[in-house]
Chains A and B, each alone.
Chain A
């Protein structure tokens, strides 16, 4: 069977990342499943500490610290079984088939090497190019991320570039080997708003052109709304709701998603809305309530929520094939849902 655009590039089932603690191993990421299709941008949203960055790093086989452990029931990149890879195998995948962009462009580049050096390092690692071919590839990539004067850019040191330019270099380093999957961990959080928009547009355009699937990790729902095709909301290491961006943003069925959405400042002419916060704060990994991890902050929670972990299921029982799913015992109902049901 030849791959069709509908086949996922990356399919992960039941991803778990655990860390040792005083009470045995603690799941920082607890049973996350996700599928990414070519050219698609999937948003992974959540508050800090919810495990979204750990999830992203786990997709590159990178555990949080030497004592962290990654497991999954299945993890496939195209026809490659990632779950079977040893550390050497992972090193061949990292940077070439799955790559990553980090949050802080200031610190994600090595201060003592030039941009060209760092870009060439990626190419030499993964491609059997000679010097001229490698330079051409580096130049092409720099041009594609918007460096008109790539010759000069190659010679620049990170401190000589602005934040936005550094992030472009990081995008170039991540894209230079034309990866199938790009994990972008808060790629624009450290940038000012206008630069944010440019970088996001750049990532989106590159993903569309090259067919790279992007996992965009962010805490900012506005970014999700702006460029993501689908989104997953993460809370305490679990996915609480996922679905197409429009459906998720406008018809959230998990109270947490609804809360996040209400906490987002919206500017619309003639209307002043107060930003609503979610009461309480994210519990630490050791203080999670039994059952639904959101139950201690949720006004809809009852005894069922406090005893049983809700499973991810279709938000619309009448249409189980619809990609909008939530993990909630008492989801919010929407007019549109009842209309279709």
Chain B
């Protein structure tokens, strides 16, 4: 059994999880919801083993680094962070239906990583610029942030879906979603968490850049988009705290923020040029 096969099992698990959560949403089947959670947990456990195995495999072929260094590994790690964060949210706040809005993101990330032709899955050795302990710190903090923002984005969509429907029938599709107030509060907490980790991610990136290139900030597209994302969430937090914005506006900002995260993570590597083009292969 190698790490690729285990990642494949993870992808399937997350897919089943998404389908089961959709069943919870559409058919109100609590059982489906519970199975969906178990599928997610199973997937995450397998993925954790797979990540460790890939790390070990890299040493076996004489390269030796954590599985966080190229687009494939980062997509897989992103799916892992998002799912772990989601499982914690479900444990803490019991809103299992959120899974229908978040697990698809994890599946999409894993599926794209596995099937896209432009993604190289091999364990490749690190070029000199990536040979640093800051790699671990920077990638991990960024992706914990990304995972949280993915969940916040999902919650934003859920809020808008719920708000649009006028149904009060708890048996209807939207009626079974948690109260708007609860979704809003959860979105807010998730954004706070993500914001702290994104800040740490940007900071570790800056310190690393200074060690490697002599500049902690060079306005390269990746850095710039990460600060754009930071500005958007800072705006969201201020609007909430100080201007009393809530509800629909925050939901839209959560979605906008995740679009910015997506562009920072993905769009920059594939659409723009710059120092961060490591992820484009």
B and A form one assembly: no
